[in-house]
Structures are given as structure tokens and as C-alpha cells.
């Protein structure tokens, strides 16, 4: 239980810090870089190294490569939906999560589950 409380607090704090930095910066396209900051990864990997060791964290980041490829495609899809289909931000970002899931698991499967 304590582990998940620590995870929640660390994740919340790191994500908020990156989000606030993104709010502070202009132009908006540059601030957008912070929308894809590895904030969840930084919090999770710190705990993973402490609990399971470096090899486990390295395995997680190998799979994260597939997640990052999916994130790039997801962001492009969201951008196109907002600009062309004129959908609002919340439905556009939520619907596009299907794209993220398909690409992420697809790349992971193609790489034999190890990336």
C-alpha cells in the first residue's frame, strides 16, 4: 500500500512540475514538448531500480521504446483530428488512445515482446 502512495505522490509531483514548465513556456509548439516529457517514466523507473534492480528498469525502458513510437503517432493523429475533423480536445485525445494502444502493442509484438 505504502509503495502505491509513494508512486502516486512522486508521479503527481513530477508530472505537475513538467506541466507547469510547459505552461510557462512560449511559443505553444515548444511548450508542447513538455506534454511528452518522460515524467511518469522518471517516477516509475526510480522505484523500479530501488525495488527490482537496474536490469528490470532496463527491460521496462526497452518496452517504453514501443510506447514512445506510439506516442509520436498518437500526437500526430490528435493534431490532425483537431485541425481537420474539428473535434473538441477531450474526445479527440480520448478516442486517439485506441491508436496508441494498437501501435504500442503492435510494435512490441513485432519486436518479439522485448523491444
Partner 1 sequence: MTPIRLAPSSLKEGRWYEYLIRFALGGAATVFAGLVSSRYGASIGGLFLALPAIFCASATLIEKHEIRRKREAGLAGERRGQMAAAVDSAGAALGALGMLAFAMVFSLTAETSIAAAFIGASLAWLVISMVAWYVRRKTRSVRRGRTKQKGSGSALV
Query: Which residue of 54, 98, 102, 110 would you call a contact of partner 1, by CB under 8 A?
Result: 54
Q: How far is the CB of 106 from partner 1 (least distance, A)?
A: 11
Task: Measure the CA angle with vertex 9, ends 93 and 26; round to 5°.
Answer: 50
Query: By CB under 8 A, is residue 1 in contact with partner 1?
Result: no
- C-alpha to C-alpha distance for 20 and 13, rounded to whole angstroms: 11
Q: Are 41 and 61 in contact (CB under 8 A)?
A: yes
16 binds partner 1 (CB under 8 A): yes
Q: Which of residues 89-108 bind partner 1 (CB under 8 A)?
A: 89-90, 92-94, 97, 100, 104-105, 108
CB of residue 54 vs partner 1: minimum separation in angstroms?
Answer: 5
CB atoms within 10 A of CB 96: 21
Nearer to partner 1, 71 or 110 (CB): 71
Q: Closest by alpha carbon to 62, among 73, 78, 48, 76?
A: 48
Minimum distance of partner 1 from residue 89's CB (angstroms): 4
The conformation of residue 105, written as its DSSP 8-state character, comes to H
Amino acid at each position: 500500500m505504502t509503495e502505491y502512495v509513494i508512486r502516486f505522490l512522486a508521479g503527481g509531483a513530477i508530472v505537475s512540475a513538467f506541466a507547469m514548465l510547459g505552461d510557462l513556456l512560449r511559443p505553444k509548439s515548444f511548450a508542447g514538448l513538455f506534454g511528452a516529457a518522460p515524467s511518469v517514466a522518471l517516477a516509475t523507473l526510480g522505484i523500479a531500480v530501488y525495488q527490482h534492480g537496474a536490469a528490470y528498469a532496463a527491460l521496462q525502458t526497452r518496452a517504453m521504446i514501443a510506447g514512445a513510437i506510439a506516442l509520436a503517432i498518437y500526437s500526430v493523429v490528435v493534431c490532425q483530428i483537431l485541425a481537420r475533423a474539428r473535434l473538441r480536445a477531450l474526445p479527440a485525445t480520448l478516442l486517439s488512445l485506441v491508436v496508441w494502444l494498437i501501435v504500442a502493442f503492435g510494435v512490441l509484438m513485432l519486436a518479439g515482446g522485448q523491444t
